[in-house]
Amino acid sequence: MPRARATLLIHLYRLLTWLASPFARLLLAGRIRRGKEDPARLGERFGRASRPRPKGPLVWLHGASVGEIIAIMPLMDRLRALGFKVLLTSGTVTSAKLAGSRLPPDIVHQFLPLDSPLFMRRFLKHWRPDLVLLVESELWPNLLVEVGRRRVPLVLVNARMSERSFAQWSRLPKSVAALLAHVALCLPQGPQDAERLTALGATRVSAIGNLKFDAPPPPVDLAAFDALRAATIGRTVLVAASTHAGEDAVVVAAHGELVRELPQLLTIIAPRHPERGREVIGVATEAGCPAVLRSDGYLPDRGTQIYVADTIGELGLFYRLAPVALLGGSLIRHGGQNPIEPVKLGAAILHGPHVANFAALYEQLDAAGGALAVADARSLAAGAAALLTDGEARRRVSAAAQATIATLGGALERTLTALDPYLVQIRLERHPS
């Protein structure tokens, strides 16, 4: 692969991030106060490894947060089965906790260093990856440049380029093209992603589907499930999953309308960012709805109307419990959350109008009758009531969604096939005989 030539803007970015490196601790101090960093592992943000490098060929995978890590879990398993060591990086505390609870001990997890040339060089000097796989849309300039300088093949897997991101990147065409020149292969989720990445300058682009369709449903702690099911016997349960600020009030208002028709209704709100739990409690309390926090150790009792599930890695529990799920991030202009997990677990899906992050998927689900679109508290209440009170209608929606999802799998095998030449080359270089 020819070496990419950096533009003046990239040189300026690298210089500024280099000069800012001594002040990085000040930036992270604020994030620590907001619960967005793990102070015990802060050194990893500066590229200082907290684990030794495993012996043998190493594949480095990076996913920003929880959703990306869940998507690549089957890929990591297959790489391990092929004899490769796996280094996983991510950027959030929640993703680190998920990695600690769900990944086998031989997969090394580290926080991604801040995007400084100094920190990236320190990181790469220790880990010496043989192949780098970036998940979805993680295009950090110093990461790309430093990996490119070492002639390590870098592949974008499950790549995504939203309309909004495309518009932003398009303002810097030469710099973006120079960064994408460090990418040896680009494996987008769909044709639109492929078109946008190609327009930005990516080469060797092949749309092979979304790895999230091949990910297994999230696991569930059976004891926790039994306890929650026992606490909700005789109650109608609705879950609003991965909600963002601005959506909780809509859900609480819809609950207020629904409870007139369904007096035994329990609404579970699982905020996308668990640290918002007490904020959600405040919204519910202001509306006169008794609410409790799961993180405080409470189970819902007969008086609980809003149960705030501010925990990590338990969405599978709530999707199994609730027959109907509203997917958050869609009632505000966030772009929506991925509906694949609740569909696989049999929940009937409701979503708002703002689903640009997964537009093609929601379009297919809606067309097949596998999801119901809502816009505000009133339509949310009406849609939820229709599904919660009509078991046959709910089963039709769920079955249509599962049939749609089933037709969209296969990306894992196609990804491994596309990566095979790089994996073979790594073996040849390490064992030339």
Match 């006169």 to its residue by tokens: 288
Closest alpha carbon to 218 in 371, 70, 65: 70
Residues involved in catalysis: 68
